[in-house]
Amino acid sequence: MKSNKLLVSTLTLYLIIILVPTLMIAQDKQPKKVIYDTDMCLDVDDVGALALLHALENKGESELLAVIFNEVHPSGAPAIDAINTWYGRGDIPVGIYKDSFSKPDKSPYLDAVAKFPHDIEAGDTPSALDVYRKALSDQPDGSVTIISVGFLNNLDDLLIAEPKLVAKKVKELVVMAGLNNDGFNLTRHNLVEVSQSVIENWPTPLVISHNGGSIHTGAILKDAPKANPVREGFYKFFDNSFKGRSSWDELAVLYGVRGVWTVFEEITEGTGSLPNGFVWKMKPGYRSHLEHKISDAAFVEIIDDLMMMPPAKVKGTVAKKVIYDTDMCADVDDVGALAMLHAMANNNEVDILAVCFNEVHPYGAPAIDAINTWYGRGDIPVGIFKGVLENPHDSRYLESVAQFPHDLDSATAQSTLEVYQEVLRDQPDGSVTIISVGFVNNLAELLRTDPELVKAKVKELVLMAGTTDGGGFNMNQHNLSSVSEYVIREWPTPIVFTDPGGTIYTGPGLKDTPVDNPVREAYYKYFHNDFKNRPSWDQITVLYGVRGLADYFSMGTTGTGHLQNGFVYQIKSGHRTFVKPLLTDEAYAKIIQDLMLVPPLE
């Protein structure tokens, strides 16, 4: 009988933990509007709590309006943005504290997390106050929950500057802090008077969440993909290992989004205190604190499950279907561009349908397959040009890269025409983007053989070539000017030319990647056993080919282009156009190198 009672109790607890949130969401489908104010720096539970917020948003329970950083570490904003970007929400506003601390904290993980893909830096991040003003002003009255898991400096600035806005828009403030004589969040950096000011003057309900020290979570992140920056945060915090960490901030987030639910009890009697002697009274609907009603083990299960939830695909978006046509041989930017494609595939931005090789080097196919294999995609079809090129190029790195694990060689590789035909026939009409960063001999052969297939299946052809320099290297090498003319003249769908990249230098960061990374090896051998900067023509082409104009480019739609053989073509919207850069070279380099350094998914 005792075992039956235990089974019933366990089942009951499971039903409470798993089903009640679902029932609550079904009854109230409005997600909780949340601003997350964090000192993500010295400890790592802030990272886990942000992961929870994204998981809860995936489940329809919350909407993350902004993330505010109340520390001063320069890698704080980039690391936060990297985590948001991993979850497909890189557009979430991030604001930072613009003042200084006399003894700022160091971080064991922020620099490492900030190496993951992101597009903001501390220097161009708006102030916390500006982000608070904008985020709150845009929301209905009494609708926003602020979850603070760090210091209260930003909230004090907000309360001083905009007390009426706070009173009007904020429904509840949840503060992760000690209830009596807090020794960290309410006192560190000489902020005890600031904390007193917020607790004493905040005009809406304020709830203290002070538990979590005995609830250890995060060790499970060992089984998360290596491309997950949350995993990296915990890994670096524990000196390149995985252990459980106290979950103070995660508990604050659980309450902030789900309320008391069935796991918390809100205490509205008694007092709280600060080390400076300030005491405040609990009062229903004004000041309170939380105690938990379930076991530590039950909380661990809830938190770890949410922390392990993968990014959700954004509704209405589909990974772009891409065929990559490359002359990976004489230069090495083709390798960096292929690395970018794999990083974007990790983020569900792109589906790499095939890689086609338009050079004739015997190590081209095995090297391409080795790179694909490194990224866990060794099944991607690879096709090679089976014809002859005048004055074929040698390569400084292909033979070395081809020594890495692969299962394809030039003798067994299909022709590019066969690969193009097989892949295109399997895709929906108008769905495929071809990104060509080399010669167009493969494309000419496809167009002559199967023009109707091209017209039916290809949405856009992106060519790495200039329009005003006669087409440069790619349109004229190997005596291919007339072939390039044919493709530009007869291609039945839009062509976009990309030429920027010559002054955008990337690659040295690969020195710090694993030695079994074939992309690293390619750059190392290209620079004669060294790591140096190389222009990023092909990476810019991939950036546009996958992400489109976004905030990166504008489109040139007027004028003419020409090739070295005298052929002139008209630039026209929707037919033949070219991209114009909007960002600085340094900004492009940061975006590109961050993607080139993304590790394979596990």
Confidence (pLDDT) at 348:
82
Burial of residue 283 (number of CB atoms within 10 Å: 0-12, 13-18, 19+): exposed
Confidence (pLDDT) at 313:
59
185 contacts: CB under 8 Å, gap ≥ 6:
39, 149, 150, 151, 152, 175, 176, 177, 178, 195
Domain limits, the chain: 22-307, 320-596
Confidence (pLDDT) at 1:
31
Q: How many residues does the chain have?
A: 602
Distances from the Cα of 343 to the Cαs of 63, 258, 313, in angstroms? Answer: 27, 34, 16
90 contacts: CB under 8 Å, gap ≥ 6:
81, 84, 118, 119
433 contacts: CB under 8 Å, gap ≥ 6:
320, 321, 322, 323, 458, 459, 460, 461, 462, 545, 546
The predicted model scores a pTM of 0.58
Tokens 């060689």 found at: 409
Calpha distance 431→218 (Å, rounded): 40
379 contacts: CB under 8 Å, gap ≥ 6:
none
Confidence (pLDDT) at 24:
41
Q: 284-287: long-range contacts (C-beta < 8 A, 24 or more apart)?
A: 285/205, 286/205, 286/206, 287/199, 287/205, 287/206, 287/207
Confidence (pLDDT) at 29:
55
Calpha distance 38→47 (Å, rounded): 9
Confidence (pLDDT) at 347:
81
What does the pLDDT look like over 504-556, one tens digit per residue? Answer: 999 999 999 999 999 999 999 999 999 999 999 999 999 999 999 877 899 99
What does the pLDDT look like over 280-313, one tens digit per residue? Answer: 999 999 999 999 999 999 999 999 999 999 887 5
Q: Do domains 22-307 and 320-596 have the same CATH topology?
A: yes
DSSP 260: T
Provide CATH code, domain 320-596: 3.90.245.10
β-pair type (144-148, 94-96):
unpaired
Which stretches of the chain score pLDDT less than 50? 1-28, 314-316
Distances from the Cα of 561 to the Cαs of 27, 487, 498, 576, in angstroms? Answer: 60, 14, 12, 9
The CB density around residue 266, as the number of other CB atoms within 10 Å, is 15
298 contacts: CB under 8 Å, gap ≥ 6:
13, 17, 263
Let me know if domain 22-307 sits in CATH 3.90.228.20: no
Confidence (pLDDT) at 69:
98
